[in-house]
Structures are given as structure tokens and as C-alpha cells.
Structure 1
Amino acid sequence: MEQRYLGRTGLKVSRLALGTMTWGRDTDEHEARDQLLAFVDAGGTLVDTAAGYADGDSERVLGSFIGDLVPRDLLVVATKSGISRRTGTRVVDVSRRTLLADLEGSLRRLRLECVDLWQVHTWSDAAPLEETLSALDYAVSSGRARYVGVSNYSGWQTGRAVTYQQAWPGRAPIVSTQVEYSLLQRGIEREVLPAAASLGLGVLPWSPLGRGVLTGKYRSGTPADSRAASPHFERFVGIYLDKRSHRVVDAVVRAADGLGLAPLEVALAWVRDRPGVTAPVVGARTAAQLRGSLTVEDVTLPPEITAALDDVSA
């Protein structure tokens, strides 16, 4: 798999990242093991998780594989802190106290002394920005994280955080931003992508397949084994099961038929090769689904197809 630099750093990562949001909940350890092996065998290196995924079980499952199943030096391990669902509801807390406690918990579950990329999972007005960013400084200076980034920040939030870190020597530079980006969600093109390009950030799109909708699996209903049928993800997927999304999916399916590809290959290649993108984060419930995504490494969309998809999804 082709490797790309993460922003303006010397860190190279695979141009697809493996997402683990379903690990430990909808994806059991056996499927997760097969996913990781398939990803590494394909040349993948960047694996993304979070303290809040499955109440930490995603990190536990991944941690059980590092070293025993896959050598540590073959992986670029990324995690996130700041969102919890331990109380049964979504709680955002990006205070220094909580972020550093989350990081310690992540390292324990991952069985690591240091993660390669630690990201603030989302913005919150409840904590002063300088307090949130001080946690990133401490994580790097103490050797708990090699690089730091942000996730789900708007354009102005990204600009403010990055320039704050750049203003004083010795602060940990923010090197990446993880945001939703697909043919069904192109909002980051207004401000986030230009900000990332100007500030030298690597962009890690999550849900590059439109939360699974761009695979075409929902064109005639909701499969019983799909995420939309899961109580955890029904609402998460449901926002893209509308008329506008249906038109975009139809265009992707037509393009795929004409090129002899699967719809997911077309949708994923479109995101992967957008200007500024480092690595889309691809999640799958099963290893078979993941292998279907990994075939995109050999796909390059013709310019006229890219232009047509740009137009229908604008």
C-alpha cells in the first residue's frame, strides 16, 4: 500500500487507515483479528481507535494483538480522548484532568507506553482551549504520545488551536485533523480543508463511505446484518437514507458498473485522492467487508468520473 506523510511531519502512514469503532461490540475478537491481519498483509500501517469506542473495549481488543499478533513497529497506533459513554449518554470532557486520565487508560488498554498519534476527539466550549492544548503538550513532553492532532473541529476551531500551538516555542504541534468526509458529506471543503492545507495538517476522513450508505447496500431496504439494523448505529446511518443521498448513491453505482468496480471502491477512491487527504479511515464489521475495501489500492478514477461525482454530490 502506498505511504503518505502525515501533514508536514516525517511520519509516513498508509493511505488507508483501519478504523476500529465496532471492535469489542459489533465486531468480535476473531473478526477483529482477521481484519488486522488482512490490513497489515495489504501494507496498511495506520490503525485508529478511541477511548470512547465500546467503552474502551476497542482499545482492549487492539492491545491484545499488538506485539503478539503484529509487531509493534509495523503499526502506527492512533487513539482519541474526550468523549465517553460510560454513563449511557454521550459525555464530552476535554479538560486537562480528563484528557490525561483518558490517555493513561488508553495506554493501559493498548498495552503500550506510547501512542503514535493522540487526538482530541471533539471541540468543547466547556474547557478553555489553552487547558485542552496543555494536555497535548504534556503527552508529548512526557513521552506518552509522539504526535498530536484534533478531531471534529470546524475551520475556525482548527485555525485557532494550531496557531496557538505555533505561537510559543516548545509546544506540541498539531499535525492532523480527523473529520467526516465523503460524497455524502462535503462540508469540510468550505473551511476545514483550506485551513488544513494552509496550516500543514494531514486530513484523516472518517466514514468515507457515507456511514456505509455509499456501498449501495441500502438501495432496496435495510439488510438485517447492516449497521443501520444495529441499535448502536441506526440513527448514525439513518441521516443518509434520504432522497439526496439516494441520487448520489445511484451515480456511484452507475460509475462502478461502467468501470467494472464495486460502488465502495469508487466512493473510497474519490475520497482518498482528494487534495489534502492523507488517509481515509475505513471501518468494517467483518473481515470480508474490509477486504472489499482494500482492493481500492489498485483503483484510480478517470478524471471525467471524478468530475461527474463532484457535480452530483456538490
Structure 2
Amino acid sequence: MEQRHLGRTGLRVSRIGLGTLTWGRDTDEHDAADQLKTFWDAGGTLVDTADVYADGSAEYLLGQLLDGLVPRRDLLIATKAGSVPDPDRRFDGSRGHLLAALDASLERLGTDYVDLWQIHAYDATTPLEETLQALDIAVSSGRARYAGVSNFCGWQLAKAATWQLASAGPRTRLASTQMEYSLLQRGIEREVLPAALDLGIGLLPSSPLGRGVLTGKYRHATPADSRGASEHMAPFVAPYLDDAASRIVDAVSIAADGLAATALQVALAWVRDRPGVAAPIVGARTAQQLRAALSVEALTLPDEICQALDDVSAPVHRYPDHDWSTL
């Protein structure tokens, strides 16, 4: 699998990443092992998780598979901290919480370091410089090799990255930002993506298949074994089952037919090759689904197909716009 630099850093990652959102909950040890082995055999390196996925069970399961199944040195482990299961405070970006969460993640993963440590979300109740100091400490102590953020809006990302570049002393450059990005969700193109491109931050798109909708599986009905039929995942899928999404899914399917490809391959190739994208994070239920996603490695969309998909999925960006020449 092709490797790409993550932002303006020396870290190279596989251009498709493996997500573990459902590991330890919907995906058991056997299925997780099959997925990890499939991913590794295909040349994949970047595995993304978080301390709150299945209340820590995703990290623990990944840790159990390291070395016993796949050598630790062959994988780039990315995890996140900052989300808390507290309805009164969803995010905690305090230095104390973050560093304690990192230590707990390392213990569950059974490793001395993670390759990429990400702040899961912006915490408006904690000074940003305190949150960022946790990244500096994690990297300087060797517990993390690189650092990034997740779910930061445009101004938050720009402020964080600029602070790290402009502040005195040894600071850790932001390597990445993880955001939802697909043909069904292009909102980051307004401000987040321009900021990332300008500041040399690599984009790790989550839900690159529109929460599974872009595969076309929901065109006529909701499959009984799909996330859309799952009690706890159905609300996650539902926003992308409207008429606007259906038009985009139809366009993807038409493009797939013309290319003798699948809708999954077309949708994933589109987001994989967007400017600024380092590696879409793909989550699968089974190794078979993962193999279908990894088969996109051989596909590059023709320019006219990309333009047609751009047009049918174009978001409405009016004033204020980051590009004044379009006004």
C-alpha cells in the first residue's frame, strides 16, 4: 500500500487507516484479529483507536493482538484522549486528565509509546495552552511520537497549530487533524481543510464512506445486519438517509457501473485523493468488508468522474467564504 507523509512531518502512514470504533463491542477478538491480519497483509500501517471506544476495550483488544499476531514495529498506533463519559462535561482537555488518560491507554495497549496521540475534541473550559502543553509533555517524555487533534473547527485548529509554531521553547508541531469527511459530509472544506493545508497539517478523514451509506447498501432498504439496523448505531446512520444523500449515492453508483467498480471503491477513492488527505480511517464489521475497502488501492478516479461527483455533492458555501475570489 502506498505510504504518505502525515502533514508536514517525517511520519509516513498507509493511505488507508484501520478504525477500531466497534472493537470490543460489536467486533469480537476473532473478527478483530482477522481484520488486523488482513490490513497488515495488505501493507496497511495506521491503526486508529481511542480511550473511550467500548470504554477502553478497543485499546485493550488491540493490545492483545500486538506482537502475538502482528509485530508492534510494523504498525503505527494512533489513539485519542479527552472525551469523558460524563453528561455534565463531555470533554476534558486539562493537562492532568489528558496525561493520566495517556498512561491508561499505554497500559491497555501494552506498549511504551503511541505513534500518534490526538486530542479527541476541543474543551472550551480549559485554556488551550494547557491542553497543548499535555501534547508537548507526551512527546518530550517519549510516550507519544507525534501529536494531533480531532473534531476541532477551523479557528480552533488554526489557533492550536499557530500556538505550537509561534510559542517559545520546544513545542510539538501538530501532525494531523481527524474529522468526518466524505461525499455526504464536506463541511470541513469551508474552513478546516484550508487551515490544515496552509499550516501543513495532515487530514485523517473519519467516516469516509458516509457512515456506510455511500456503499449503496441502504438504497432500497436497511439490511438487518447493518449498523443502520443496530439499536445503538442507527441514530449515527440516520442523518444520511435523506433525499439529498440518496441523490449522491445514486451518482456514486452510476460512476461505479461505468468504471466496473463498486460504489464503496468510488466513494473511498474520491476522499482518499482529495487535497490534504493523508489517510481515510475505515471501520469494518468483518475482514471481508475490510478487504473490499482495501481493494481501492488499485483504483484512481478519472478527472471527469471526480468533477461529476464534486458537482453533485457540492456544499453551499456563501458569505463569509475563505476564498473572496468566489464572491
TM-score category of the 2 structures, normalised to the smaller one: over 0.9
Regions of 4+ moved over 6 Å: none
CA apart distance, 1:169: 3.1
Provide the secondary structure at the position in 1 that maps to 2:117. Answer: strand
Specify the code of the residue in structure 2 equivalent to 1:213.
Answer: V
Residue 292 of structure 1 corresponds to 292
In structure 1, stretches of 5+ residues that fail to align are none
Residue 76 of structure 1 corresponds to 76
Provide the secondary structure at the position in 2 that maps to 1:310. Answer: helix
Aligned ranges for residues 212-227 of structure 1 at < 5 Å?
A: 212-227=212-227
Residue 114 of structure 1 corresponds to 113
Describe the superposition over 1:70-112 as per-residue Cα deviations: whole angstroms up to 9, x where unpaired: 1111001000001133x58982111111111111110000001
Residue 188 of structure 1 corresponds to 188
Residue 244 of structure 1 corresponds to 244
Describe the superposition over 1:206-264 as per-residue Cα deviations: whole angstroms up to 9, x where unpaired: 00000000000111111111111112211111111101000000000111111111100
Are positions 1:137 and 2:141 aligned together?
A: no
- Change in Cα spacing, 1:90 to 1:130, as seen in structure 2 (3 Å) is closer
Provide the C-alpha distance between the structure 1 equivalents of 2:104 and 2:230, rounded to a whole number of angstroms.
27
Aligned ranges for residues 30-179 of structure 1 at < 5 Å?
A: 30-85=30-85, 91-167=90-166, 168-179=168-179
Provide the C-alpha distance between the structure 2 equivalents of 1:84 and 1:51, rounded to a whole number of angstroms.
9
- Change in Cα spacing, 1:235 to 1:89, as seen in structure 2 (3 Å) is farther
Specify the code of the residue in structure 2 equivalent to 1:126.
Answer: T
Provide the secondary structure at the position in 1 that maps to 2:276. Answer: coil
Provide the secondary structure at the position in 1 that maps to 2:146. Answer: strand
Residue 207 of structure 2 corresponds to 207
Describe the superposition over 1:244-301 as per-residue Cα deviations: whole angstroms up to 9, x where unpaired: 0000000001111111111000000000000110000000011111111000000000
Provide the secondary structure at the position in 2 that maps to 1:153. Answer: coil
In structure 2, stretches of 5+ residues that fail to align are 315-327
Provide the C-alpha distance between the structure 2 equivalents of 1:89 and 1:35, rounded to a whole number of angstroms.
36
Q: Which moved more, 1:96-105 or 1:33-42?
A: 96-105
Give the TM-score taking structure 2 as reference length: 0.94
Residue 261 of structure 1 corresponds to 261
Provide the secondary structure at the position in 2 that maps to 1:183. Answer: coil
Provide the secondary structure at the position in 1 that maps to 2:240. Answer: coil
Provide the secondary structure at the position in 2 that maps to 1:248. Answer: helix
What is the number of equivalent residue pairs in this alignment? 313
Are positions 1:308 and 2:308 aligned together?
A: yes
